[in-house]
Amino acid sequence: MRDLTDDIPPLLSGAPRTTEFRKLRKRIIRETRAAIEQYGMAEPGARWLVCLSGGKDSYTLLAALTELKWRGLLPVELLACNLDQGQPGFPSTVLPEFLARMQVPHRIEYQDTYSIVTDKIPQGRTFCALCSRLRRGILYRIAREEGCSAVVLGHHRDDILETFFLNLFHGGRLATMPPRLVNEDGDLFVHRPLAFVAEADCEAFAQAMDYPIIPCDLCGSQDGLQRQQVKALLDDWEARSPGRRQVMFRALMNTRPSHLLDPALFDFAGLDRRIEFSANPERQTPPR
């Protein structure tokens, strides 16, 4: 297994040499590797389409996967992909130039989904659902064309938590983004290797590496989004009780169907009351 020396991929070069950054990098790599292993994402010889939006999360994802592959811990081929959705003012040259300079295999795809979204969504409604659906369909097509078995996304721990509470508050269900799933057509995996990584760590890493961050002006320009409200709520909880996010995230990995209310997950009707009596009648007590 390699260590960070002079012989490193350009994407990983120029990292700060501070102790704080080294701890940050090691934490991100450790947590990314843990998610990949725990959810069985890595298939030797597979090809992954790594989706790069130009945001802090996707840069962190690409860097973490690149380092794991470089260290010999990720036996897959990586292809970075950016989808230019035709947003006005989008700096279309930034990512192609960056990826070429970093010697990262990549594909840039232009599809004007911006016009579709702004045309179909009434004023005052949020764009995210339709935008995401259109984007996902295009990425699936690209993955098939490129011979990829998985579409790899940069959703992190906080995205997963926020989605859980959005479903809880607005969807009436206990559900969130899974670390790994199969698409509806059954021919592609969707992986989220940053599932254990905190958003704050992604931001600190991308800023320290001085990656050229591109904001999402489409949905980022809208006020009052439900996700923004949930994020503010989680921020408030975290400020009042540091570590609350991590505790809640662990709860998503420690579910007890018998202590919830979904009869599809647990056979409540089939419960059988079994009382074993002691030989001593005075000690015949029912179970707790």
What tens-digit pLDDT sequence spans the chain (288 residues)? 444 555 899 999 999 999 999 999 999 999 999 999 999 999 999 999 999 999 999 999 999 999 999 999 999 999 999 998 878 888 889 999 999 999 999 999 998 877 777 776 666 666 677 777 888 999 999 999 999 999 999 999 999 999 999 999 999 999 999 999 999 999 999 999 999 999 999 999 999 999 999 876 555 444 447 888 999 999 999 999 999 999 999 999 999 999 999 999 999 999 998 876 555 555 545 444
Q: What average pLDDT is seen over the chain?
A: 89
Specify the pTM: 0.87
Nearest CA to 128 out of 221, 200, 231, 59 is that of: 221
In residues, how long is the chain?
288
Q: What is the CATH number of domain 10-259?
A: 3.40.50.620
Closest CA to 133 of 116, 145, 147, 154: 116
Angle at 170 between CA 154 and CA 183, to 5 degrees: 40
- Contact yes or no for 72/1 (Cβ under 8 A): yes
